[in-house]
Amino acid sequence: MKKAPRQRSRREVARPVKPPALHPGERVGLVCPASRPASPAVLKRCLRVVEELELAPVLGTNVLASQGCMAGSDEQRLADLNGFLADDSIAGIFCITGGYGSLRLISGLDYAAIARRPKIIAGCDDNCHLLLAVHAVSHLVTFHGPNLDQIASRYTFEHFRNAVMKKGSLKRIAAADLSAGEVADREPYTPVPGTAAGALLGGNLTALTSLFGTPFQPDLTEAILFLEDRNERTDILDRWLTTLHLSGQLARASGVAFGQFAGCGSRGSLNLLSIEELFGDLLEKIGKPCCFGLPVGQGQRSATLPLGIRASFDATGGIIEIGEPATS
């Protein structure tokens, strides 16, 4: 296994590297660093989504390759990624789908190309390994937004477009966004009320903890940590939050914003407690402002969050307010 470039500590380099915003007509590379899309029809729709953003999609050579649960071998998936990173005609890289596999690639990424030509990298689910590793090593602002196959609402689409194509500040993200047009307003569940300020950091909880103990481990000091996951059992999610707690990182974060946990729950196990109760128990102990129910993650409505960008977090109201533009 190749050695990862040495990670500088957050304190040495406080300023994140912002990639240039995307402009209409620019070429973006579409990749599958983890699993392959469910079908060619899904892929076709992903291309349409990118065209609706007025961008020119360029498909990676291997997006429909297959090896085990992944979209081809590590070499194939890396070739697509590193090819786009090195290609100056490609302005951004969007992930098509999640699954599993991007963890296997982070040691082989072309970090020199990222430093030479920072560009927008967006995705979620398993691709959080990629977003977090690139952010940890290169300090690049990466975008926790939908994988292209998950853009299922106008809300998700608009937030994504706003984050990667607009130069100004981003929209405010609120738990109440989830209920617009529904019967009753959604309110956040807030075990520990309060407010916090810091750089946004986080993503998929399973992926985040997969970097622990490695040179790519994120430093959550003074971060507004946001977490989401999918199709996982409550007790196992509690394990991974316990990892963050045991490492001391949870106590160093300034606040925790929990997004969507789609398909998560007891899933037939004996656990009678919800994620809210289990996580709330831990966070009450350390008195960390936190709330549940933000439109972040893999639900119908999902906002795009830029890693490393300063924001303020109101746990009581369930609101994240992003304080600066995410792109240059």
Residues of this chain that interact with another protein (CB under 8 A) are: 1, 4, 35, 66, 68-69, 99-101, 103-104, 106-107, 206, 209-217, 230-233, 235-236, 238-240, 242-243, 245-249, 267-273, 277-278, 281-282
Q: How far is the CB of 111 from another protein (least distance, A)?
A: 14
Tokens representing residue 163 in the block: 């984050």
Which residues are within 8 A (CB) of 268 and not within 5 positions of it... i.e. 6 or more apart?
A: none
User: Which CB atom, from 68 or from 193, has the smaller least distance to another protein?
Assistant: 68
Closest to 103 measured CA to CA, from 14, 185, 206: 206
User: Which CB atom, from 190 or from 217, has the smaller least distance to another protein?
Assistant: 217
User: Which CB atom, from 90 or from 136, has the smaller least distance to another protein?
Assistant: 136
User: Which CB atom, from 162 or from 221, has the smaller least distance to another protein?
Assistant: 221
- Position 32, amino acid: C
CB 118 within 8 A of CB 54: no
Q: How far is the CB of 100 from another protein (least distance, A)?
A: 4
Element (H, E) at 266: none
User: Which CB atom, from 299 or from 318, has the smaller least distance to another protein?
Assistant: 299
Q: How far is the CB of 44 from another protein (least distance, A)?
A: 19
What is the SS3 string spanning the chain? CCCCCCCCCCCCCCCCECCCCCCCCCEEEEECCCCCCCCHHHHHHHHHHHHHCCCEEEECCCCCCCECCECCCHHHHHHHHHHHHHCCCEEEEEECCCCCCHHHHHHHCCHHHHHHCCCEEEECHHHHHHHHHHHHHHCECCEECCCHHHCCCHHHHHHHHHHHHCCCCCCCEEHHHHHCCCCCCCCCEEEECCEEEEEEEEEEHHHHHHCCCCCCCCCCCCEEEEEEEECCEHHHHHHHHHHHHHCCHHHHCCEEEEEEEECCECCCCCCCCCHHHHHHHHHHHHCCCEEECCCCCCCCCCCCEECCCEEEEECCCCEEEECCCCCC
Q: How far is the CB of 290 from another protein (least distance, A)?
A: 17
User: Which CB atom, from 110 or from 187, has the smaller least distance to another protein?
Assistant: 110
Q: How far is the CB of 245 from another protein (least distance, A)?
A: 8
Q: How far is the CB of 306 from another protein (least distance, A)?
A: 24
Q: How far is the CB of 10 from another protein (least distance, A)?
A: 11
Q: How far is the CB of 316 from another protein (least distance, A)?
A: 26
Q: How far is the CB of 197 from another protein (least distance, A)?
A: 24
